[in-house]
């Protein structure tokens, strides 16, 4: 060990007796200082303008373009300048012969030189630590763990680059060639992750070797054993290769023997890396303050109930526009989307089924295509063959329509790419959604798993009397809220089994979460009333929505609940909105946009406990006159000022269970048009309603603590002064120290 330390000390002195080491330190500090304080100034300006920034630590360091991200993008350029002379200098000067003939062991030489460059790497990290200290002192409740994790990742990456540079330096006597070769290896390790992705075994090996993105998770606060072991194994690999390279110069083994040693070393490293990357052998440490790189406590409580294998099968249609996401070449990226869940479910397995069939496009998907191919006039097989040829895929891996239909019926899913989640004989579905991020988030995945663990939550919508439809896409209907499969927040994607029933010809199913009567345009007949009355008397949950003008149709049914819809319509004076557009108060801060709403009245006969869910605002009134949407609103005789209930919730205990009933005087609040209203929290009300009916089971509440690092304690002038110190004074001092040392060295 003493010899290693002496060699490291000597190598460090040589390094700092040359201008390159000082130049790298100065350039690194100037670059980091400029980026760091520019970020600080931008955040300071945003805070001064009243913009709420509640995750400043993340914005300053790992975010795009944070300090750590900026360093990560340029770090590889510095290391070759430092390592190119470590061994090539010895070779070109001839001193390598003295080293090899000395009593010092080769591994001591290599480890000593590597220790020197590792110490220099620590100096680079020490510069970053200065900015970390500034952040901790000036950011309110700074996320210290996130910063430490990022520094750890950058140091391991720098140490890995150094080991590669040391090995490349041992292969040539030309320092420039060593530097260029090192950059070439860096590029190769970034590119290799895309090699052999179509083959399972090769995919895992090349993905392990890829250095691209290896430090990303650490920069964001998550340290995993597979990433740490990766860096350590790559360091070990290149240091061992360097030692073996010098030993071959001394021993002069034959080419087959040398090749065998190299291959054995690489095989051992690859096998160790393959094992370390197995999900069941990977451990994680979330360094963030709010554990945002880990599943929420709600999700953890769900996945802990999974005992045994849980299988996720992805059905990939060659003719689907999103086929790229499911192809073998994208497999590792796709599996990464479930990484947090694989941490907690060791028995999670994945399967991919490839097929081709004509997808059915919904109205909102019309015109969407990613093929840029003319497929008109071709049958299904011909389309598939043309697409496969264009994408360079083997048609043999895709099942034809007849074969896939034998295995499963994907017609209800329009032959789109979907995943099935299977556990103990039960199945749920994960889909791709509209929007920028199409893939299931933690909420949807947790929902799909929870559906396998609890009884089905059935929601049945009554049809037959021109109620709001869950299948039609017009503005008044409930398709988007209930059954729109590409809508992430639709009930079918949030844990509910949604269906329709016509009470003229069908019975009400058993074990419902809720029966929904959505604004019928025809008064229920005696058959329907008999079924509804029996359902209510048995304690079934019920949601009824109505509109002004429907009072006579619904009040006979509502009378059984001691409720009635008040005659007239609620209005509100406004310069910008129609008079019948009111904003019902969900709470003191939250309003729901309701177009054309009727007030609800309740007669307390001691049967139900009532709660007002939505109340009209203080500035409106109930009018019995016709409302002209484009006319002037005038309070007239017979109108009634005040605040009125719009949505009432009723509960009672019957048949040893709690019956839950909700009545709304507005049916539009959860319609296709209203859910996109820019001023109303309509979706929040929908979530609250169905969460209430499902006893809190769905939709899931996936919440994380709000970050409190939302203030900077430095002003613009102080930032400018710090910028002057770190961009001017300290670099100038470093240059002066370097000049003094180099001049003295030259005189000696």
According to the model, what pLDDT value does residue 18 have? 83
User: Is the model more confident about 460 or about 95?
Assistant: 460
**pLDDT tens per residue, range 545-597:** 999 999 999 999 999 999 999 999 999 988 888 888 999 999 888 999 999 99
By the 8 A CB rule, do 227 and 211 touch?
A: no
Segment 683-708 shows an average pLDDT of 93
According to the model, what pLDDT value does residue 249 have? 67
Segment 373-395 shows an average pLDDT of 87
Contacts of 183 (CB under 8 A, 6+ apart): 76, 80
Question: Is the pLDDT confidence value at 364 over 50?
Answer: no
According to the model, what pLDDT value does residue 99 have? 62
Q: Which residues pair with 515 in a beta bridge?
A: 460, 542
According to the model, what pLDDT value does residue 552 have? 92
Segment 531-556 shows an average pLDDT of 95
**pLDDT tens per residue, range 508-525:** 998 999 999 999 999 999
**pLDDT tens per residue, range 145-160:** 999 999 999 999 999 9
Q: Would you say how long the chain is, in residues?
A: 748
Q: First vs last Cα of the chain: how many Å apart?
A: 30
- Reported as a pLDDT band with limits 50, 70 and 90, residue 17 is confident
CATH architecture of 455-693: 3-Layer(aba) Sandwich (3.40)
Question: Is the pLDDT confidence value at 365 over 60?
Answer: no
**pLDDT tens per residue, range 61-107:** 999 889 999 999 888 888 888 888 778 777 766 666 666 666 778 88
Q: Is the peptide bond before 7 cis (omega within 30 degrees of 0)?
A: no
Segment 497-502 shows an average pLDDT of 95
Contacts of 134 (CB under 8 A, 6+ apart): 36, 722
- Reported as a pLDDT band with limits 50, 70 and 90, residue 367 is very low
Contacts of 301 (CB under 8 A, 6+ apart): none
| 637 CB-contact burial (10 Å; exposed 0-12 / middle 13-18 / buried 19+) | exposed
Choice among 28-42, 104-118, 496-510 with the minimum mean pLDDT: 104-118
Backbone angles phi, psi at 632, to 5 degrees: -90, 135
Question: Is the pLDDT confidence value at 236 over 70?
Answer: yes
According to the model, what pLDDT value does residue 559 have? 94
Question: Is the pLDDT confidence value at 506 over 90?
Answer: yes
- Reported as a pLDDT band with limits 50, 70 and 90, residue 362 is low
- Reported as a pLDDT band with limits 50, 70 and 90, residue 16 is confident
Segment 728-735 shows an average pLDDT of 90
According to the model, what pLDDT value does residue 98 have? 64
By the 8 A CB rule, do 416 and 484 touch?
A: no
According to the model, what pLDDT value does residue 503 have? 94
How far apart are alpha carbons 470 and 484 in whole angstroms? 8
Which residue pairs from 738-745 have beta carbons closer than 8 angstroms and sit at least 24 positions apart in sequence?
A: 738/19, 738/22, 738/26, 741/16, 741/17, 742/17, 742/19, 742/22, 745/17
How far apart are alpha carbons 172 and 167 in whole angstroms? 10
Choice among 393-397, 454-458, 673-677 with the minimum mean pLDDT: 673-677
**pLDDT tens per residue, range 190-218:** 887 767 666 666 666 777 778 878 889 99
Q: What percentage of the chain exceeds 70 in pLDDT?
A: 94
Domain chopping of the chain, boundaries: 2-289+720-747, 297-431, 455-693
According to the model, what pLDDT value does residue 368 have? 43
According to the model, what pLDDT value does residue 628 have? 76
User: Is the model more confident about 605 or about 172?
Assistant: 605
- Reported as a pLDDT band with limits 50, 70 and 90, residue 613 is very high
**pLDDT tens per residue, range 404-448:** 999 999 999 999 999 999 999 999 999 999 988 899 999 999 999
Question: Is the pLDDT confidence value at 371 over 80?
Answer: no
- Reported as a pLDDT band with limits 50, 70 and 90, residue 250 is low
Q: What is the mean pLDDT of the chain?
A: 89
């Amino acid at each position: 060990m003493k010899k290693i330390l002496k060699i490291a000390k000597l190598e460090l002195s040589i390094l700092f007796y040359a201008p390159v080491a000082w130049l790298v330190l100065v350039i690194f500090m100037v670059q980091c200082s400029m980026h760091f304080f520019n970020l600080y100034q931008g955040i300071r300006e945003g805070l001064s303008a009243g913009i709420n920034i509640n995750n400043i630590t993340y914005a300053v360091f790992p975010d795009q373009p944070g300090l750590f991200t900026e360093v990560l993008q340029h770090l590889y350029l510095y290391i070759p300048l430092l390592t190119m002379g470590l061994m090539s200098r010895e070779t070109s000067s001839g001193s390598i012969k003295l080293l090899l003939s000395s009593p010092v062991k080769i591994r001591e030489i290599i480890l000593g030189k590597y220790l020197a460059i590792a110490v220099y790497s620590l100096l680079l990290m020490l510069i970053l630590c200065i900015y970390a200290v500034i952040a901790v002192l000036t950011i309110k409740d700074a996320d210290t763990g996130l910063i430490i994790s990022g520094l750890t990742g950058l140091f391991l990456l720098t140490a890995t680059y150094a080991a590669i540079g040391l090995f490349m330096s041992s292969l040539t006597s030309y320092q420039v060639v060593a530097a260029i070769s090192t950059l070439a290896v860096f590029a190769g390790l970034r590119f290799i992750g895309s090699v052999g992705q179509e083959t399972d075994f090769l995919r895992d090996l090349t993905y392990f070797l890829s250095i691209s993105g290896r430090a990303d998770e650490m920069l964001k606060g998550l340290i995993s054993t597979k990433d740490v072991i990766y860096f350590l194994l790559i360091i070990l690999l290149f240091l061992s290769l360097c030692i073996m390279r010098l030993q071959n110069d001394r021993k002069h083994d034959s080419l087959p023997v040398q090749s065998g040693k190299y291959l054995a070393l690489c095989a051992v490293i690859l096998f160790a890396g393959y094992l370390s990357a197995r999900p069941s052998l990977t451990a994680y440490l979330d360094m963030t303050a709010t554990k945002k790189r880990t599943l929420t406590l709600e999700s953890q409580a769900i996945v802990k109930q999974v005992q045994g294998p849980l299988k996720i099968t992805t059905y990939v249609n060659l003719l689907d526009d999103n086929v790229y996401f499911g192809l073998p070449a994208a497999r590792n990226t796709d599996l990464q989307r479930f990484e947090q869940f694989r941490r907690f479910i060791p028995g999670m397995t994945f399967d991919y089924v490839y097929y081709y069939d004509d997808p059915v496009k919904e109205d909102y998907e019309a015109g969407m295509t990613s093929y840029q191919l003319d497929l008109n006039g071709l049958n299904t097989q011909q389309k598939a063959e043309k697409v496969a040829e264009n994408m360079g895929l083997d048609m043999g891996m895709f099942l034809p329509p007849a074969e896939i239909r034998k295995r499963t019926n994907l017609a209800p899913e329009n032959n789109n790419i979907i995943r099935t989640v299977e556990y103990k004989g039960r199945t749920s579905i994960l889909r791709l959604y509209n929007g920028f991020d199409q893939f299931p988030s933690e909420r949807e995945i947790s929902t799909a798993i929870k559906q396998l663990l609890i009884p089905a939550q059935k929601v049945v919508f009554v049809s037959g009397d021109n109620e709001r439809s869950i299948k039609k896409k017009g503005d008044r209907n409930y398709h988007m809220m209930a059954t729109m499969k590409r809508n992430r927040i639709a009930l079918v994607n949030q844990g509910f089994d949604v269906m329709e029933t016509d009470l003229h010809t069908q019975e009400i199913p058993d074990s419902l979460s809720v029966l929904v009567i959505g604004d019928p345009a025809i008064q229920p007949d005696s058959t329907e009333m008999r079924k509804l009355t029996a359902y209510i008397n048995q304690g079934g949950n019920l949601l009824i929505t109505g509109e002004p003008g429907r009072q006579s149709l619904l009040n006979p049914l509502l009378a059984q609940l001691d409720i009635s819809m008040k005659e007239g319509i609620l209005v509100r004076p406004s310069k910008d909105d129609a008079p019948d557009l009111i904003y019902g108060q969900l709470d003191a801060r939250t309003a729901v946009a309701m177009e054309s709403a009727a007030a609800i009245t309740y007669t307390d006969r001691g049967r139900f406990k009532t709660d007002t869910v939505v109340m009209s605002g203080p500035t409106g009134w109930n009018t019995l006159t016709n409302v002209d949407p484009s006319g002037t609103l005038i309070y007239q005789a017979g109108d009634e000022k005040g605040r009125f209930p719009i949505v009432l919730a009723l509960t009672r205990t019957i048949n040893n269970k709690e019956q839950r009933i909700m009545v709304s005087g507005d049916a539009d609040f959860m319609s296709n048009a209203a859910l996109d209203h820019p001023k109303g929290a309509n979706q929040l009300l929908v979530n609250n309603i169905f969460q209430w009916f499902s006893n809190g089971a769905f939709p899931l509440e996936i919440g994380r603590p709000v970050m409190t690092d939302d203030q900077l304690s430095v002003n613009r002038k102080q930032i400018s002064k710090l910028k002057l110190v770190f961009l001017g004074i300290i670099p100038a001092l470093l240059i002066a120290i370097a000049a003094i040392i180099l001049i003295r060295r030259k005189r000696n």
